[in-house]
Structure 1
Amino acid sequence: MILFDILLIVISSLILVVCILVGVAFLTLLERKV
């Protein structure tokens, strides 16, 4: 059960990082267009 909790935390962290990277990339693309 502890292993499952750790796995869940790792997956959540990865998703959070990916979302942040996508957001930053999207903002930079918008700034370049303008």
Structure 2
Amino acid sequence: KYNAYKNTPEEQEFASKIRDKLCELLEEENLKLWD
């Protein structure tokens, strides 16, 4: 069974990069909405 708390450093780094990218995309979408 997959345990999220046993992520390797590589997995954690990958996940944080994805979160950063998603935040960027969401901010861009929000800016378009408010334009």
**TM-score of the superposed pair, with normalisation by structure 2:** 0.77
Q: What is the root-mean-square deviation of aligned Cα atoms in Å?
A: 1.2
More helix by share: 1
What stretches of structure 2 of length at least 5 have no aligned partner?
A: 1-6
What stretches of structure 1 of length at least 5 have no aligned partner?
A: none
User: Which one has a bigger Cα radius of gyration?
Assistant: 1
Q: How many residues align?
A: 29
Runs (4+) of structure 1 moved beyond 4 Å? none
